A and B are shown apart, each in its own frame.
Chain A
Amino acid sequence: MSTATDDTRTEDRPSGTIETSAGHTSIVERVQAVQSAWILGVLVVIIAVFGLMAPSTFLTVGNATNIAQNVSIWAVLAVGVTFVIITSGIDLSIGSVLVVSSVVAAQVMERMGDQGWGTAAVGLVLSVLVGIFWGCFNGFMVAKANVPPLIVTLGTLSIALGIAQILTGGVDVRSAPTVLQDNIGYGRLAGIPVISIIALVIVVLGGILLHKTRFGRYTYAIGSNETSARRVGINVDRKLLQIYGFTGFLAGIAGLLSLAQYGTTTIAGQSLTNLNVIAAVVIGGTSIFGGTGTMFGSMVGLFIPAVLQAGFVIIGVSPYWQTVAVGSILIAAVYVDQHRRANEARGK
């Protein structure tokens, strides 16, 4: 993402008195300007503490790759959830949509029998189509039928998971084409897990879409003041449909990535995925009231639980403490967000 374009024009601003540039020339200043700055500080402190306690095991390339691999699938989901939450919506169904996408893809690929890229491609297309279907269904109910997103996606959470269980009789499909598992699930490129590279590409593209394009601007506008968005002629209903559809699309991709990583559908394993991803996005500074949030913040929010998990295992603390810690950070993050809003309402 180019940051230089906005900031080099101060000398030729027309009025000479009205500021037309945010003046954040470096990535560092840009990061400080968003409220995810303090949460990045928290992440750095966590890493520093574990680093001091177990320098030989925690601060290793192996551990870092391990953490990166663990957050990859959630990162793909978090991209969509960031968009949805910025519109002041919510999507609880992502975990179930991931499951049903991977089940449909796995069953068809298993029946095809072949282990090659052709089969994998069919699986990807199916997985994505199933994801888009559920996403668009969510979007339609939210935008056109005016059912609150919490209720719609709570419903589809249940329906999509139920359908996955009906399709499989509740038994995981324990097969995925070997090309997927070998190249994507366990594959490395220059020592970096391929799955993490894929996730990173999606995150960067998602960040550009959110922060640099008109689509992203309308996402913020809808969350900030839906009435004013409608008044200026933005087709809010269609945007919401696209945003939920996009989230479903990403859940479909995540479904195939999960199949590649674990070699099995994870029917029973995704029940907390939605909450973990939402928590990460909110910890990262995206307000559940809509209108604010950054892709960068969501990624920082994702790494906090992952780093805690890895760190607790390494220093020998029960990993159950991780959930306690993440929950506490979540509440603290929202408290800070509220505090900031209150200040803003008072005109700073």
Chain B
Amino acid sequence: MSVLFEARGLSRRFGRVQALDGADFDIDEGEVVALIGDNGAGKSTLVKALTGNLAVDSGELRFQGEPVSFATPQEASRLGIEVVHQDLALAPHLDSAQNMYLGREIMRPGLLGKLGFMDNTTMREATAKAFTELGSAVRSVVVPVGAMSGGQKQSVAIARAVAWANKVLFLDEPTAALGVVQTRNVLDSIKRVRDQGIAVVLISHSMPHVLEVADRVQVLRLGRRVATFEAEGTSVETLVGAMTGALELNQEGAA
């Protein structure tokens, strides 16, 4: 498998804090990569830098071998890269179909579409289909998202991202606020997304979840990638050791 998306030497300073300090990252096609690290290790900053949500001071991005740069999240979207943010970024008063297509509405054909009229039926049916494919627990696409449970909101946000991500999907702490059943649904969704051939980047604090779904685990510490592990055969203790620095590693350590 070839490298789909990679970053080399990303650095970003906020005042006196060096949030990213020459961080590297890479993911292959159809792969699930977990990004782990202690609080403040730079996980969220790295995700922002990789998805057009943050400009870096130095470093380069390559997508399918070509150098790229994203001034806005929309530019990353155009290449098929989507993010599910920790806060989900849903509009609570809109229903899930409206959220799913927000900013990318399907318009009615012909003159009506030119006048700004939307094809709600098509959008609702496509949304229902997407939920079915993801095994989502959402039972109605016309209920305001604000009235849904945490797990349902999460699945709306994931379904939205998957609908537009045909290359890479970033999930920032998708299970942080979820119960056991909902977490299971999200992990299953990740596998289904991977089976569709989309690369998934999972940011998580839960080592068992990481080891369950990820192919590789990349560890960030102090704004830098300190280790990459194959998930298979790696223990939780090893990951925690790499995260905290308790485990001494030569650069790019085990693998």
Report which A residues bind B (CB closer than 8 A).
5-6, 9, 13-15, 17-22, 209, 212-215, 217, 220-221, 223-225, 227-229, 231-234, 291-292, 344-345, 347-348
Q: How far is the CB of B47 from chain A (nearest CB, A)?
A: 13
Q: Assuming the A-B contacts A233-B74, A234-B102, are A220 and B94 also in contact, with contact meaning beta carbons closer than 8 angstroms in the complex?
A: yes
Q: Which residue of the partner chain, among B85, B91, B105, contacts A214 with CB atoms under 8 Å?
A: B105
Q: Assuming the A-B contacts A15-B128, A18-B128, A231-B73, are A214 and B89 also in contact, with contact meaning beta carbons closer than 8 angstroms in the complex?
A: no
Q: Are B128 and A13 in contact (CB under 8 A)?
A: yes
Q: Assuming the A-B contacts A214-B116, A234-B103, A347-B149, are A20 and B141 also in contact, with contact meaning beta carbons closer than 8 angstroms in the complex?
A: yes
Q: Which residue of the partner chain, among B107, B124, B146, B147, contacts A20 with CB atoms under 8 Å?
A: B124
Q: Which residue of the partner chain, among A14, A17, A229, contacts B102 with CB atoms under 8 Å?
A: A229
Bound-complex Cα distance A21 to B97 (A): 11
Bound-complex Cα distance A6 to B87 (A): 31
Q: Which of B28-36, B132-140, B208-216, B241-249 contacts A (4 or more CB under 8 A)?
A: B132-140
Q: Are A19 and B140 in contact (CB under 8 A)?
A: yes
Q: How far is the CB of B127 from chain A (nearest CB, A)?
A: 8
Q: How far is the CB of A153 from chain B (nearest CB, A)?
A: 23
- Is residue B40 within 8 Å, beta carbon to beta carbon, of the partner chain? no
Q: Assuming the A-B contacts A220-B93, A225-B89, are A233 and B124 also in contact, with contact meaning beta carbons closer than 8 angstroms in the complex?
A: no
Bound-complex Cα distance A15 to B132 (A): 7
Q: Which residue of the partner chain, among B89, B107, B125, contacts A227 with CB atoms under 8 Å?
A: B89
Q: Which residue of the partner chain, among B85, B121, B125, B129, contacts A231 with CB atoms under 8 Å?
A: B85
Bound-complex Cα distance A233 to B74 (A): 6
Q: Assuming the A-B contacts A13-B128, A220-B94, are A19 and B117 also in contact, with contact meaning beta carbons closer than 8 angstroms in the complex?
A: no
Interface residues of B in 68-106 (CB under 8 A from A): 72-74, 77, 85, 87, 89-94, 97-98, 102-105
Bound-complex Cα distance A229 to B105 (A): 13
- Is residue B142 within 8 Å, beta carbon to beta carbon, of the partner chain? yes
Q: How far is the CB of A33 from chain B (nearest CB, A)?
A: 10
CB nearest neighbor in B for A223: B93
Q: Are A224 and B93 in contact (CB under 8 A)?
A: yes
Bound-complex Cα distance A215 to B118 (A): 10
CB nearest neighbor in B for A213: B116
Chain B residues with CB under 8 A of A21: 124, 142
- Is residue B111 within 8 Å, beta carbon to beta carbon, of the partner chain? no
Q: Are A231 and B89 in contact (CB under 8 A)?
A: yes
Number of A-B contacts (CB under 8 A): 112
Bound-complex Cα distance A74 to B141 (A): 36
Q: Are A228 and B89 in contact (CB under 8 A)?
A: yes
Q: Which residue of the partner chain, among A15, A19, A220, contacts B91 with CB atoms under 8 Å?
A: A220
CB nearest neighbor in B for A343: B147
Bound-complex Cα distance A41 to B131 (A): 38
Q: Are A225 and B90 in contact (CB under 8 A)?
A: yes
- Is residue B115 within 8 Å, beta carbon to beta carbon, of the partner chain? yes
17 contacts between A and B (CB under 8 A): A5-B121, A6-B120, A13-B125, A15-B131, A20-B127, A20-B142, A212-B118, A213-B116, A214-B118, A215-B116, A221-B94, A221-B102, A223-B93, A228-B91, A229-B91, A232-B103, A233-B74
The 5 closest A-B pairs by CB, nearest first: A232-B103, A291-B93, A213-B116, A19-B140, A224-B91
Q: Are A291 and B92 in contact (CB under 8 A)?
A: yes
Chain B residues with CB under 8 A of A20: 97, 121, 124-125, 127-128, 140-142
Q: Are B117 and A213 in contact (CB under 8 A)?
A: yes
Chain B residues with CB under 8 A of A214: 105, 107, 116-118
CB nearest neighbor in B for A216: B116
Chain A residues with CB under 8 A of B90: 225, 228
Q: Which residue of the partner chain, among A6, A19, A344, contacts B121 with CB atoms under 8 Å?
A: A6
Q: Assuming the A-B contacts A228-B89, A228-B90, are A9 and B121 also in contact, with contact meaning beta carbons closer than 8 angstroms in the complex?
A: yes
CB nearest neighbor in B for A7: B121
Q: Are B139 and A344 in contact (CB under 8 A)?
A: no
Q: Are B142 and A213 in contact (CB under 8 A)?
A: no
Q: Are A217 and B98 in contact (CB under 8 A)?
A: yes
Chain A residues with CB under 8 A of B116: 209, 213-215
Q: Assuming the A-B contacts A13-B125, A225-B91, A228-B91, are A22 and B142 also in contact, with contact meaning beta carbons closer than 8 angstroms in the complex?
A: yes
Bound-complex Cα distance A17 to B133 (A): 12
Question: Given A220-B93, A224-B91, list of 12 further CB < 8 A pairs?
Answer: A9-B121, A17-B139, A18-B138, A18-B140, A19-B139, A19-B141, A20-B125, A227-B87, A228-B89, A231-B89, A234-B102, A291-B93
Chain A residues with CB under 8 A of B92: 224-225, 291
Q: Are B121 and A292 in contact (CB under 8 A)?
A: no
